[in-house]
Structure 1
């Protein structure tokens, strides 16, 4: 094994037979002879490890934890499978990648116990993975999109339009053998903030652009491995919420952190209503959904709460 030191360490682990690119964040004073509580991270759609994981990894390491952030299959620096295309972030594979990340952490002698921390779509990934992976001892979800039914299916006509577009994209790619890249949220890598907000239809346009846009703090210019363009058949899986459907089967103690003022709050509150396990709920009025991605006050509030919960 490569010598590991405090801070960020570049590692890989196997999933679907290929090496996924990962960063392992170790706490200050790291001693491989000791054991540490460890976190497997799950990021928002369609992020890479240099976004949320690069923010939460150092924060959790500063609180004494080991944190693993990684690029899912076909994302960032992780390869796609032979004959497949990049930017193909499918829910079922995200869950299996997470299971393999847990297996990788289980091989490290300094890992004491493993917890899961997901942000936005990552919350759904962690919740879904934890249903049948009890190697994950506790889970925390920040601005989590676990209860997607009310959020994504409230307008059935729009959902069916998404499905039709995704079906057509899948057929096109099968017939041509070429990728069909689209901008899932209407934001491409060249748009200005004014153009994106002016396009309308996105109540989170401003804060989303400030993070993901061309000029955003973690957009395609700031993070070269990131793009707002994504494979066109994504909707066929993103419209299925496993975490919500199996919420009553989750046995691990759970922490749900969200913005009470965000229109995505229902994705957390309706998930909480379905839980039958031990859980804690922490709602903030002063932060938005995206604030928890990178704004110092919001990140501190969430990571402090997560550290206390995992240490309890």
Structure 2
């Protein structure tokens, strides 16, 4: 089965030269045209080859036989990342391979790098690497997610049909007012809608192959956060970029505390978690920081 990706090349690309290449890992539940479609051109502009791709079951990549689209399973995300590294390794103009993960992509790329030393450096932006403190602090909520996912898994098995849900309570048809008014945290909800919502920057209207709806058994895998428990095994030089005032900052800081490879850290004030997805000033700062780190 073939995964589908977009390869971004530097301006004045010359196939006879050697370039540093980056494999991108995207946030949940994104496709390659979203955050990676922002960072791909930015990193190419800074001289890198950048691979953005869709995981199995997402975007333009197929689902496995007997499974359904909009199914993004953690263990396959890691395996698919290894495949992407293998692909970059076949390109004669690629000199070294680095990894860049945003949000859940931070967890994916860090997990992949534990045993894939073909990834020579890794960087994360607004990364959800140490997700246990974020996802399991309220165990009642976690167990509610698990219960719903278990019911969905059984339903899918028995019916042979997909069971689609809105993991964050946001579907593809809601207005911003409808979504925010029903949210427990209106500020965060508004920020999420501005990106993912029906009328958002990279919502289902703006990105044809994206949907906020997802297979309902997702939590059975997304509640595993592997890389934080293997952080001390990561040997590659590591950069962690995050918004110090973002509610998800703990997912970066707790991960940093567990690393033993003397990581570089860039904590920016004034930016939220989602700002690093697409806000020009935030993206410029993170892209410049990542480029400088990869060029050392």
Q: 1:148-297 maps to which residues of 2 (within 5 A)? A: 148-202=131-185, 204-297=188-281
For residue 201 of structure 1, report the CA deviation from its aligned partner. Answer: 2.0
Rounded to whole Å, the distance in 2 between the matches of 1:240 and 1:277 is 23
> Which residue number corresponds to residue 35 of structure 2?
52
CA contact 1:252–1:278 (8 Å) conserved in 2:
no
> Which residue number corresponds to residue 69 of structure 1?
52
Rounded to whole Å, the distance in 2 between the matches of 1:279 and 1:268 is 11
Rounded to whole Å, the distance in 2 between the matches of 1:275 and 1:190 is 42
After superposition, the C-alpha distances for 1:181-210 in whole angstroms (9 at most, x for unaligned) are: 000000000001011111122451011000
CA contact 1:41–1:69 (8 Å) conserved in 2:
yes
After superposition, the C-alpha distances for 1:140-162 in whole angstroms (9 at most, x for unaligned) are: 00000000110000000110010
After superposition, the C-alpha distances for 1:72-98 in whole angstroms (9 at most, x for unaligned) are: 100011100111100000110000000
The 3-state SS of whatever aligns with 2:241 is: strand
The 3-state SS of whatever aligns with 1:298 is: helix
Q: Which runs of 4+ in 1 moved over 6 A?
A: none
After superposition, the C-alpha distances for 1:268-312 in whole angstroms (9 at most, x for unaligned) are: 000000000131011111111000000100000000000000000
For residue 53 of structure 1, report the CA deviation from its aligned partner. Answer: 1.1
Structure 2, gaps ≥5 residues long: none
The 3-state SS of whatever aligns with 2:111 is: helix
Rounded to whole Å, the distance in 2 between the matches of 1:46 and 1:200 is 19
Rounded to whole Å, the distance in 2 between the matches of 1:268 and 1:278 is 14
TM-score calculated relative to the size of structure 1: 0.94
TM-score calculated relative to the size of structure 2: 0.99
The 3-state SS of whatever aligns with 1:19 is: coil
Structure 1, gaps ≥5 residues long: 1-17
> Which residue number corresponds to residue 79 of structure 1?
62
The 3-state SS of whatever aligns with 1:150 is: helix
Matched, 1:30 2:13: yes
CA contact 1:116–1:126 (8 Å) conserved in 2:
yes
RMSD: 0.6
Rounded to whole Å, the distance in 2 between the matches of 1:280 and 1:37 is 19
The 3-state SS of whatever aligns with 1:162 is: helix
After superposition, the C-alpha distances for 1:76-135 in whole angstroms (9 at most, x for unaligned) are: 111001111000001100000000000000000000000000000000000000000000
Count, aligned residues: 295
Q: 1:10-159 maps to which residues of 2 (within 5 A)? A: 18-159=1-142
After superposition, the C-alpha distances for 1:239-283 in whole angstroms (9 at most, x for unaligned) are: 000111110100000000001111100000000000001310111
CA contact 1:73–1:79 (8 Å) conserved in 2:
yes
After superposition, the C-alpha distances for 1:158-192 in whole angstroms (9 at most, x for unaligned) are: 10010010011000000000000000000000001
For residue 217 of structure 1, report the CA deviation from its aligned partner. Answer: 0.6
